[in-house]
Structures are given as structure tokens and as C-alpha cells.
Structure 1
Amino acid sequence: MAVRFIKIAVVYFVIGVLLGLYMSMAHDYALKGVHVHINLLGWASFALAGIIYHLFPSSSNNMYAKLHFWSGNIGLPVMMIALTVLILNGAEVATVFTAIGGVLVVFSVIMFAINVFMNVRSTN
């Protein structure tokens, strides 16, 4: 799971940087919340999780790690696409999908926290 997290983090990093470039060039910062969430949750959080999973292999190959990965990688895109639609088009139906994606992301973080507390141990 460590390598998967690091690779998907890089994908989010590229998306976040490209979105930032677009906003800068267009002088339109309406999507700054999307930009921030992609960079923080997608790039930074997943990269750090990948490093933790690499350093503590016992935490990497279990149900919690898999739930962390899949719920985060389903929830974040759903939440960000819905938020983009909501911001750009004002489509209120997008609010439901923003909430669904958000709940999946929160669930993902909780799975990560449980995994860390149960499986990350000192080697001393």
C-alpha cells in the first residue's frame, strides 16, 4: 500500500499544481478551496501515509490500509468534482455529492488513525 499511496499522491500533486497554475493565469481564484483540498488531502496526506506505511510495513497490508486507500480515493474526487460543480454552476444537487465525498474522506482518515494506533510500534 505504501507505493500505491505515494504514486496516487503524486497524481494529486500534479492536479493541484495544474489547478493552481490555471487559477493564477486566469486570475480566477473561485476554486481555491478545491485547490487546497487536493493539495492537502491528496498530495500531502497521502504522501505522508505512504511514508508511514513504508516505514511500518505491518500497518501496510491489512483491511484498515485498504479501506483508507479506497475510501479516500473515491471520496476525494467525488467531493472535489461536486464542489467544483457547486462553485461554478451553483447546482445545489452537488451539495449532496460533496457531503458523500466528505464522509468517505473522514472515514478514510479514521481508518488511517485506527491502523496507526493498532499497528505502528516502536522497534526499541
Structure 2
Amino acid sequence: MSRRYLVWALCYAAIGMALGIYMAASHNHGELVTHAHVLLVGFVLSLVYGIIHRLWLEAPRRGLAVTQFALHQVAAILMLLGLFLLYGGKASEETLAPLLGVGSVGVLLGMLLMLYMVLRPGSARSAEPGAPDRAAA
């Protein structure tokens, strides 16, 4: 899962950077909120989830890990699409509210699932310095 998250994170980074370059070149910063969310919810959060999988999750349930991954990516895309349409003036806030709501709640649920996987007994390695690494045993 860590590689999947890394690939998606880098894709979001490229999209966020391209949007930032477009805004700078056009002198139209109307998509600033979208740009920030692509980089934070898309790039940073996906990268953090990938790091958590690589460093802390020893044996997450496959179905739960895949569900959390899919939920985060679908919800992030819904949120980012809604923000892009809203700040690009393509649709009204009233029209996009359900899309933005579902996306936002989905991102939150993805975070809560990640928290559950980290806290679930037997699934996470200790991150404490000097703690034995169960993966190395």
C-alpha cells in the first residue's frame, strides 16, 4: 500500500504544481483554495499515509487497508473536483454542496480508518525509539 500511496501522492503533487504555475502565469489566483487542497489533502495526506504503511503498519487487514485507500482517493477526488468547479465559477455552491460534503466526510472517514489501523492491537509496530522492531524479528 505504501507504493500506491506514494504514486498517488506524486500525481497530486504534479497536479497541484501545474495548477500553481497556471495561476501564476495567468495572474488569476481564483483556484488558490483548490491548489492548497490538492497539495494538502492529495499530496501531503497521501504521502503521510504511505509513510504510515511503510513504517508503522505491520499487518493491517488487507480489506480494511484497501477500503481506506479507495475511500481516501475517491473522497479526495470528489472534494478537489468540487472545489475546482466552485472556485472556477463553473457551478454554484448550492449545487456543489452535496459533492463537497461527501468528499469532506469521506476524507475524514479515511483518516478515522487509518487511525483505527494504527491503534488496532497487533497491526502496528512501535514507533518508540529503542523499541524492538517486530518486523525484524
Report the TM-score when normalising by structure 2.
0.82
Q: Deviations over 1:61-95 (max 9, x none)?
A: 53332222111110111111112212223422111
Q: What is the aligned partner in structure 2 of residue 107 from structure 1?
A: 109
Give the secondary-structure state (helix, strand or coil) at the position aligned to 2:58: helix
Query: Aligned partners of 2:116 and 2:19: how far apart in 1?
Result: 32
Q: What is the aligned partner in structure 1 of residue 23 from structure 2?
A: 23
Query: Aligned partners of 2:44 and 2:71: how far apart in 1?
Result: 17
Q: Deviations over 1:24-50 (max 9, x none)?
A: 111111111111111111111111211
Long gaps (5+) in structure 2: 133-137
Query: Aligned partners of 1:113 and 1:34: how far apart in 2?
Result: 26
Query: Aligned partners of 1:26 and 1:39: how far apart in 2?
Result: 20
Paired amino acid for 1:5:
Y
Q: What is the aligned partner in structure 2 of residue 44 from structure 1?
A: 44
Deviates more, 1:42-51 or 1:4-13: 42-51
Q: Over aligned residue pairs, what C-alpha RMSD do you find?
A: 1.6
Query: Aligned partners of 2:51 and 2:60: how far apart in 1?
Result: 10
Highest CA radius of gyration, 1 or 2?
Answer: 2
Same amino acid, percent of matched pairs: 25
Long gaps (5+) in structure 1: none
The answer on whether the counterparts of 1:78 and 1:98 sit within 8 Å (CA) in structure 2 is yes
Change (3 A) 1:44 1:54: same
What is the 5 A alignment of 1:3-22? 3-22=3-22
Paired amino acid for 1:99:
G
What is the 5 A alignment of 1:27-106? 27-87=27-87, 88-91=89-92, 92-106=94-108
Query: Aligned partners of 1:49 and 1:86: how far apart in 2?
Result: 27
The answer on whether the counterparts of 2:85 and 2:91 sit within 8 Å (CA) in structure 1 is yes
Higher fraction of helix: 1
The answer on whether the counterparts of 2:8 and 2:46 sit within 8 Å (CA) in structure 1 is yes
- Give the aligned length: 124
